[in-house]
Amino acid sequence: MAAYALLVATALMHAQASEPSTKAAQPTKKTTNTHKTSSKHRKSRKSANSRSRGQKKIDPQRAREIQQALIREHYLNGKASGVWDDATQQAMQRYQADHGWQSKTTPDSRALIQLGLGPDHEHLLNPESAMTSQPAAVHGVPGSAPSAPVDSSDPK
């Protein structure tokens, strides 16, 4: 009887192995994923700890210098506090608008230069010979170098 049970078990295992499975009988669908992204190519999301770049507020010493210049030019009243407050912001916007410059971003570099607060040239090795200003205009053409006078009486 044990031999018969062994024979039946072997026959059943052989029958299951030789039967086509239902998965193999169905046609396989090929999927092409052209937008497959790997972890190398994903865009990273900014984390809460990401460092913001650029100047976010004006240094108190610089704010004091700007306020002193605006007071000198009669755009701001009072004493320079070193705090970039709403009154300073509005005074700077008026100054820039009066000079025909944009008044949304303050302070504008042209306004600072006009107020005498432009770039510092002390770091230059030869400040006397550095090209820090524009050449004089000749015959109404800005930026042109002066030329020798033309003598119209000289026949050549």
Burial of 76 (0-12, 13-18, 19+ CB in 10 A): buried
Instruction: Give the three-state DSSP class for 138.
Output: strand
Cβ contacts of residue 75 below 8 Å, gap of 6+? 91, 92, 94, 95
The tokens of 79 are what?
């004493």
- pLDDT tens, position by position, for the chain (156 residues)? 666 666 666 666 666 665 555 555 555 566 566 665 555 666 666 666 667 777 778 899 999 999 999 999 999 999 999 999 999 999 999 999 999 998 887 788 889 999 999 877 677 777 677 666 555 555 555 554 555 555 555 555
Name the nearest CA neighbour of 76 among 84, 65, 86, 87. 87
pLDDT of residue 61: 94
Residue with tokens 């524009």: 134
